[in-house]
Amino acid sequence: MTNQLEYTLVLDGKSLTIEDLQAVAVHRVKVEIDESSWELLEKSRRFVLKKAELDEPVYGFNRGVGLNKDRIIEAQAFETYNRNLLYAHAAGIEPYASEEQVRAVLLARLNSLLVGRTGIAPAIAKQYADFLNAGIHPLLPLRGSVGAGDITLLSHLGLAFIGEGDVMYAGARTSAAAALAQAGLTPVRLGAKDGLAIVSSNAVAAGTGALVLYACEQLLELADLVYALSLEGLQGHVTPLDPSVQRYRPYAGQSSSAERVRRFLTNSGLWHKESASLQDPLSFRSACHIHGAALDGLQVVKAALHIHLNASDDNPCVLEEEDRIVSCANFEPLAWVLGFEMLGIALSHVSKSACFRTIKLGSPSFTGLSRFLSPDESTIAFSTIQKTFTALDAEIRHLSNPSSADYYSLAGDMEDHSSNAPFVVSKVGEIIDRLYYIVAIEAMHAVQAIDLRAGVKLGQGTQAAYDEFRTVVPFLAKDRNLTADIQSAYQLLKSGKLLTRVRQSFAM
């Protein structure tokens, strides 16, 4: 289990950030519901119960859901109906979410409940918070949602809330009933609208998506760092990083990327190097433009997802102040799903440019070094490894294909649009994981090239990165099993240790 941070995050339904979600999901930060949010939940619930008593037809309250919206639900059957709704919608399939992903989903849904538009029983909102704080993590399937509300998946959370199904608790799989008892909690009872309020949300895609975006930020900073190392290994040109050049193409992401690379190269000999060549291949020359485009795409989807995390995605929408409960489509997530589609395409460009840089580093015609960065004539070195990273890039290219427009008309032709949100998000997550490998292999080439040169003066950031990298992947003096090196490099990058070491070098 990740070390727990010692503070409590107060939730109010309007100020949750992706960084907050990362802290709760990964670092087990405790949560607390703001007092004004409790009041809003209670007011909304009283309003729902009043409408139910008046027998006004309301979708999901006293009427069925989906094609069964014409079926009347009698008051005495509310608890049974809502339990049956959870059973009927529990149709997700493996793999199961990690505990961090489950926590992200619980938090995403809890915060949207605090917007106060569901009419859910406050006791159920409290159950979300109690599960987070007690470390009870329901087994949550990740496949089976078409992205118009993750109803087939979120029902598994609801079953755990009422003491059914299995959960992960204290490091072991156990029954929800047993975990509740051990944690000193009790199963909740379901009333009008509660089942629908639990399942009718995009919390699986939104919660896991927030974790993906957080990982993407680290990846893009690492891509800049390893690009800087590759420049050192190539002894390439730094003119594309010139602030005066950047000033006349003021894209925010491109400027940020170039500024980061300049910082990593502080005091590098590259700033004073003379070269017979005028410019480098585009995979080097335009790296900050490519990384910057991905950074810009990341900011677009972050802004869109931030809105979602602090908004209602419920149907119907409870408008207590207007004395109305209104059927709507606020569960439609396309506004931010399209951002993930764009981000996947942008990352495929990051991948391709990293692969071409790595190939160039193994080519004597570009580096002036030995073929495949071999230390001597009898060593094969980085020849066959090209197949590894280009195979990963082919997978990334496939994963970057859009999938949000692939949907069916379901529920008796009532639900004829969807977005495949969880699938879109998971694809970007898979792209990022593969990119960690590709960037790690690029780093292996970059530091090998640096070692094959005599007297290279590295920058402040690149020197720190080089030193840390060499603690886990030694110089390739003779051929060895490269799988272990690849995995060690991947773990170093993904753990954040390499970036931490570089940041510390500037703080000294």
Q: Are residues 239 and 190 in the same domain?
A: no
Residue 1 lies inside a defined structural domain of this protein: no
> Could you tell me if 274 and 176 lie in one domain?
no
With vertex at residue 96, the alpha carbon angle to CA 167 and CA 402, rounded to the nearest 5 degrees, is: 150
Q: Where are the alpha helices (DSSP H) in 332-420?
A: 334-361, 364-367, 385-399
**What domain range includes position 124?**
8-201
Is residue 230 scored above 50 in pLDDT?
Answer: yes
- 17: confidence class by pLDDT, cuts 50, 70, 90: very high
Mean pLDDT, the chain, rounded, equals 94
Q: How confident is the model at residue 3 (pLDDT cuts 50, 70, 90)?
A: low
Please check whether residues 254 and 113 belong to one and the same domain: no
Residues 6+ apart with CB under 8 A from 421: 145, 147, 150, 202, 205, 206, 209, 333, 337, 404
Distance, in Å, from the CA atom of 247 to the CA atom of 263, rounded to the nearest integer, reads 17
Q: Looking at the structure, do residues 365 and 216 belong to the same domain, yes or no?
A: yes
Q: Report the pLDDT value the prediction gives residue 69, as an integer from 0 to 100.
A: 67
Are 320 and 281 in contact by the 8 Å Cβ rule? The answer is no
Quick one: pLDDT band at residue 53, thresholds 50, 70, 90? confident
Q: Name the token pair of 324.
A: 């109305």
Choose one of 156, 183, 201: the last residue of a domain. 201
Q: What angle do CA 267, 273, 276 make, to 5 degrees?
A: 160
pLDDT tens, residue by residue, 182-214: 999 999 999 888 999 999 999 999 999 999 999
**What CATH number did the domain enclosing 453 receive?**
1.20.200.10
Percent of the chain scoring above 90 in pLDDT: 85
pLDDT exceeds cutoff 60 at 58: yes
Query: Token pair 């959370």 is at which residue?
Result: 157
Please tell me the distance from the alpha carbon of residue 351 to that of residue 401, in angstroms, as a whole number. Answer: 14
Query: Average pLDDT of 490-496?
Result: 98
The pLDDT value given to residue 277: 80
Residue 16 belongs to some domain of the structure:
yes
List pLDDT tens digits, range 60-74. 677 666 667 667 777
Model confidence at 284, pLDDT cuts 50, 70, 90, reads very high
Residue 2 within any structural domain of the chain? no
Q: How far apart are CA 74 and CA 72, in angstroms?
A: 6
Q: What is the pLDDT of residues 359-413, one digit of tens each?
A: 999 999 999 999 999 999 999 999 999 999 999 999 999 999 999 999 888 888 8
pLDDT for residue 501: 98
pLDDT of residue 2 exceeding 60: no
Cα distances (Å, whole numbers) of residue 304 to 158, 210, 334: 27, 11, 10
Give the pLDDT band of residue 333 (cuts 50, 70, 90): very high
194 in the same domain as 218: no
Residue listed under structure tokens 């608790």: 169
- Residues 239, 362, single domain; the answer is yes
Mean pLDDT of 450-455: 94
26 and 139 co-located in one domain: yes
Residue 311 near residue 304, CB atoms below 8 Å: no
| In a domain? residue 3 | no
The tally of domains found in the chain comes to: 2
Please compute the mean of the pLDDT values over residues 32-48 and round it to a whole number. Answer: 95
- What backbone torsions phi and psi does residue 359 show, to the nearest 5 degrees? -60, -40
pLDDT digits (tens, 9 = 90+) for 240-262: 999 999 999 999 999 999 999 99
pLDDT at res. 307: 98
263 and 171, same structural domain?
no
In the predicted model, what is the mean pLDDT of residues 269-278? 86
Instruction: Evaluate if residue 1 carries a pLDDT over 50.
Output: no
Q: List the alpha helices (DSSP H) in 235-333.
A: 243-247, 252-264, 282-285, 287-309
Same domain, 430 and 368: yes
Answer with the one of 150, 177, 201 that is the final residue of a domain: 201
Which among 201, 218, 236 is the end of a domain? 201
The answer to whether residues 429 and 281 belong to one domain is yes
Is 370 exposed, middle or buried, given 0-12, 13-18 or 19+ CB atoms closer than 10 A? Answer: middle
